[in-house]
Structure 1
Amino acid sequence: MNSKALDKDTNDMPVSLFSIVMPAYNEESVIEQTLIDLTTHLDSCGFNYEIVVVNDGSSDNTEQVLEKIEANLKTVRHVNNEGSHGYGYAIRKGLEEYKGDAVVIVTSDGSDAPKDIAAYFNKIKEGYDCAFGSRFIADATVTDYPKFKLIINRITNRLLSWVLRSKYTDFTNGFKCYRRHVIDDMQPLVAGQFNITIELAVSATLRGWTYAVVPTDWTQRDAGDSSFYIKQLLKPYFLTLIYCLTRNYLRNTRR
């Protein structure tokens, strides 16, 4: 697993509670199974964790399903995003609500593997500030990834790697874990849609926080309607990158 060198200042910081933030919009058909699979695996690993599901203005029965689940799974709670809606806004709401010492962002449709969340937690326990998943390296498995989307993904991430002078090549992957001090250092977050994946990962990288790269499994969602539209994201991704670079430059010049 590739990684930046561990930082001695954060190497020994204990993690007593891990948090999982899970945005959810109209996921009534899949979210129950996603949560059952996730809690079953994490319980078997012995982690102390919470799952914060952010109901992002769902118009179906997602909230009712969550209320039923919460009655049986004490590690799960949900909050409603009453403000602006969108993937980024939902994550920002979750990052206001989580209680853990580290937080991982997970999709509600079951695309991300529970075993990889456990791998993230273990990397954080080793002392890393972040754990970054990568779907396109050795030991990673990707199932049913659309070919056109794959081409755009690889071009975009290679460009990001070149700009950031990094060997990491999956910045657009939102499935990542951050210690609380990293999240605090990024504030205020401004992205409201899927471009928040760029804001989080690029900001953490530019600030020099340590990270481990973990090969992850990803499976195309098998229910619900995806709100991921490639053409609509290219411009926000580019603008978010410029924002992160500018913000980091201004921070450095003020030192």
Structure 2
Amino acid sequence: MSVVIPVYNEGESIVRCLDRILREVLLPAEVLVVHDMPEDTTVPYAQEVARTDPRVRTVLNTYGRGPANAIRFGIDSAVAPVAVVTMADGSDDPRQIDDLARLVDRGVVVAAASRYMPGGQQVGGPRFKRMMSRWAGRTLHWFARVGTRDATNSFKAYDTDFVRTVGIESRTGFEIGLELTAKANRLRLPVAEIPTIWLDRQLGESRFDLGRFMPSYLKWYFFAYGRRLTADQIVARRGPASPAPADPTMEKENSASG
């Protein structure tokens, strides 16, 4: 699998995140630390980890700044058939990365870590954001039958062929998880979930701006409802796609270049 971690000035805290992932992930994997600018404070610390573990690579995002573009670029840069998106803030449980990847290997196109199914939990975070996320997850599960109770969670695994077929239109924030879940639902492709315990970040500050991201979330929330579409119909409604990285060796700043 390819583990995609979008970062923004995480500094030394990325070391703890990477140590946890490298310790808990047992399947063959590459870990892509995707940053928007060469001077990002995350880079030197991530490259130091990469010197001792070749699974880690820092990747410079050239699609534009912001988490949506970083995730898009990371998935396009992935060499594995499964891409798992996880955050750098320690909120996601790295022990579940292998389980999510195995679900995709078994045939689902989106595997979600769910805070809202039995056995799941969300600890901390802004109350209004929690309420809206839970409401969206429940209503999409009940009425749109999307296959998960937590469509908005970013901690998901994807079939990379599916992602490259339907494309990613999000350009703002973390709504990619909802977008790809909604597209899988309209294509009537399988989505599955496992319970997770999400912990609000302990280091640094959250950059989630609900007011700014809400229009994009609502767009994909309503898109999840509707008749079945074909892949061609999904592609036809997309705008021009950004070119994929032509040569991973040119786009990835690994430990040797540091």
TM-score after normalising by structure 1: 0.82
Asked if 1:223 corresponds to 2:203, the answer is yes
**8 Å CA contact retained: 1:198, 1:237:** yes
Q: Residue 33 of structure 1 aligns with which residue?
A: 16
Q: Shift of residue 22 of structure 1?
A: 0.8
Aligned-partner Cα distance in 1 for 2:160–2:147: 24
**8 Å CA contact retained: 2:125, 2:200:** yes
Letter in 1 for 2:4: V
Q: Which of residues 87, 91, 94 in structure 2 aligns to 1:111?
A: 91
Q: Shift of residue 162 of structure 1?
A: 5.1
Asked if 1:149 corresponds to 2:129, the answer is yes
Q: Which of residues 239, 242, 247 in structure 1 aligns to 2:219?
A: 239
Q: Which of residues 7, 14, 21 in structure 1 aligns to 2:4?
A: 21
Aligned-partner Cα distance in 2 for 1:79–1:119: 25
Aligned-partner Cα distance in 1 for 2:219–2:117: 27
- Greater mean alpha carbon deviation, residues 56-65 or residues 23-32: 56-65
Deviations 1:45-65 (A, max 9, x none): 3x1111111012375521111
Aligned-partner Cα distance in 2 for 1:125–1:167: 17
- Inter-CA distance 74–240: structure 2 relative to 1 (3 Å threshold): same
Deviations 1:139-190 (A, max 9, x none): 1232223322211212233343455234532111111111122112212x22
- Inter-CA distance 160–56: structure 2 relative to 1 (3 Å threshold): farther
Q: Residue 89 of structure 1 aligns with which residue?
A: 69
Matched residue SS, 2:16? helix
Q: Shift of residue 75 of structure 1?
A: 0.5
**8 Å CA contact retained: 1:124, 1:130:** yes
Q: Which of residues 203, 212, 232 in structure 1 aligns to 2:183?
A: 203
- Inter-CA distance 142–158: structure 2 relative to 1 (3 Å threshold): closer
Q: How many positions carry a matched residue from both structures? A: 232
Deviations 1:62-102 (A, max 9, x none): 11112111111110111111341111000111011000011
Aligned-partner Cα distance in 2 for 1:122–1:243: 28
**8 Å CA contact retained: 2:3, 2:31:** yes
Identity %: 27
Q: Which of residues 120, 123, 129 in structure 2 aligns to 1:140?
A: 120
Q: Which of residues 142, 145, 158 in structure 2 aligns to 1:178?
A: 158
Q: Residue 33 of structure 2 aligns with which residue?
A: 53
- Greater mean alpha carbon deviation, residues 74-83 or residues 117-126: 117-126
Q: Residue 65 of structure 1 aligns with which residue?
A: 45
Aligned-partner Cα distance in 2 for 1:167–1:59: 40
Q: Residue 79 of structure 2 aligns with which residue?
A: 99
- Inter-CA distance 155–241: structure 2 relative to 1 (3 Å threshold): closer
Matched residue SS, 1:38? helix
Aligned-partner Cα distance in 1 for 2:154–2:216: 15
- Inter-CA distance 145–34: structure 2 relative to 1 (3 Å threshold): same
- Structure 1 unaligned segments of length 5 or more: list them: 1-17
- Greater mean alpha carbon deviation, residues 219-228 or residues 145-154: 145-154
